[in-house]
Amino acid sequence: MKIVVLKFGGTSVGTIDKIKNVANIISNYLKKKYKVIVVSSAMSGVTNELINKSKKISESFSDAEYDVLVSSGEQVACSLIAGRLIHKGYKSRSWMSWQVPIITKGPHKNSRIDLINKSKMLKYLKDGGTPIITGFQGISDENRVTTIGRGGSDASAIIIAKFFKAQRCVIYTDVEGVFTTDPNKLNKAKKIKVISYEEMLEMASLGAKVMQPVSIQDARLNRIDIEVKSSFNKKPGTLITKRSNIINNKIVTGISSTHNDSKVTLIGVRDKPGVAASIFKPLSKNSINVDMVVQNISANGKETDLTFTIKTEDLNKTKKIIESNRSIKFRKLILKKNVSKISVIGVGMITTPGVTFRMFQTLANKKINIQVISTSEIKISVLIDKRDTKKALIALHKEFKLDNKK
């Protein structure tokens, strides 16, 4: 069978007219003789509305009942899509996770797909049916509904594509694909035709909202090619695939920027084994994500200055945790808001010397001061003043020739 998995996000099924459009997209694949498996999110706004209701019921709403509650949104969307396909003359029906079943492991609110029972679904496909499956959810070995966490519908589509050996996995959303940088910040941003899993993972981790990092990692581990495209036009999207499939003469594929970071610096920390762990352990316990970290050792070797970045919404909590931490000693704590992380990303950097120099020289030419630096094999990130973000994006986008048409 020639199987394709189509996943539709909340904005794609946000209204009745949009659901009718989704049914038209599905029917186009059916006309091309594909066997289509559809995975749908809830209609946009519905999941947040359900979460807000749970908060009004109880500040400590049961995790198990939370999963039952929020999973109902997908059920509505799937029923409406199936109903429209039936109206158009196709054989279709909605499938809840427990009807497939999709077996999950792990805690409520953050489970992972472990197994998909294919037999019923394969028979339905062979009989000419188009299954519409609830994304974002599964069922535990205790027969309870579970949800898969952020990006769950994408993850469901990717794992379903793996289990059913689909020829394609297409993620339909409200954007045309992945861009060289945020098109809302820079109108010269260009759509990327093909991007590697690793590049996409870096861009998603650094704020690109097309897909959640966990879903990209699932695709990478299972070698599932993903096409990201808009459900609102017929333009080609972006293919996310393995490096060896990419013929690319671009050194840098994309540039990302953040807008809600803050910098924390501890001056004069007594330097001894385990001091960094003493600082970061309580932050981790309080679910505070630490990003860029730089440590400078003093000339006498007895003190160190430690700098790291966090999200601005965690700044006050971080300050309280550090000041109440009796296991560390330091002379001064400096907190700085309004900083932004700019990152250049590209697998071409691995084999191309001079990228770091070009990035730093470009920022220097624009009188932009670098506060913190971190690097990986395919990424260079710098922390700068937030007010310089757009200027940096424009300059780097031009320097690495991302303004050019692809």
* pLDDT beyond 80 at 94: yes
Q: Is residue 119 part of a domain?
A: yes
pLDDT tier for residue 299 given thresholds of 50, 70 and 90: low
- What does the alpha-carbon distance between residue 330 and residue 340 come to, in Å, rounded to a whole number? 26
End-to-end CA distance of the chain: 35
Q: Is residue 98 part of a domain?
A: yes
pLDDT digits (tens, 9 = 90+) for 220-261: 998 999 999 999 999 999 999 998 777 766 889 999 998 889
Q: Is residue 261 part of a domain?
A: no
pLDDT digits (tens, 9 = 90+) for 191-221: 999 999 999 988 887 766 778 888 888 899 9
- Give the domain CATH number at 26: 3.40.1160.10
In a 3-state reduction of DSSP, which class is residue 345?
Answer: strand
Please tell me the predicted confidence (pLDDT) of residue 256: 92
Cα–Cα distance list, 207 to 88, 182, 200, 210, 341 (Å) = 39, 9, 11, 9, 10
Please tell me the predicted confidence (pLDDT) of residue 73: 94
- Cβ atoms 380, 344 nearer than 8 A: yes
Print the domain residue range for 35. Answer: 3-174
Tell which residue, 156, 146, 181, 187, has the closest CA to residue 62. 146
Share of the chain above pLDDT 90, in %: 75
* pLDDT beyond 80 at 112: yes
Spatial CB neighbours of 208, under 8 Å, sequence gap ≥ 6? 178, 182, 200, 254, 256
The dihedral through the CA atoms of 257, 258, 259, 264 has a sign that is negative
Can you spell out the DSSP letters for 80-129? HHHHHHHHTT--EEEE-GGGTTEEEES-TTS-EEEEE--HHHHHHHHTT-
Compute the mean pLDDT over every residue in the chain, rounded to the nearest whole number: 92
Please tell me the predicted confidence (pLDDT) of residue 26: 98
In a 3-state reduction of DSSP, which class is residue 29?
Answer: helix
Tell which residue, 85, 99, 74, has the closest CA to residue 29. 85
Question: Across-strand partners of 115?
Answer: 103
Q: Is residue 313 part of a domain?
A: no
Please tell me the predicted confidence (pLDDT) of residue 406: 52
Q: Which residue has the higher pLDDT, 109 or 214?
A: 109
152-173: average pLDDT: 92
* pLDDT beyond 80 at 149: no
Question: How many structural domains compose the chain?
Answer: 1
- Cβ atoms 252, 202 nearer than 8 A: no
* pLDDT beyond 70 at 333: yes
Can you spell out the DSSP letters for 352-378? -TTHHHHHHHHHHHTTPPP-EEEEETT
* pLDDT beyond 80 at 392: yes
Q: Is residue 371 part of a domain?
A: no
Please tell me the predicted confidence (pLDDT) of residue 248: 67
Q: Which residue has the higher pLDDT, 181 or 78?
A: 78
386-404: average pLDDT: 93
Instruction: State the pTM of this model.
Output: 0.83
Q: Is residue 208 part of a domain?
A: no
Please tell me the predicted confidence (pLDDT) of residue 46: 95
Q: Is residue 396 part of a domain?
A: no
Please tell me the predicted confidence (pLDDT) of residue 129: 98
Q: Is residue 170 part of a domain?
A: yes
* pLDDT beyond 80 at 398: yes
* pLDDT beyond 80 at 160: yes
* pLDDT beyond 90 at 133: yes
Share of the chain above pLDDT 70, in %: 97
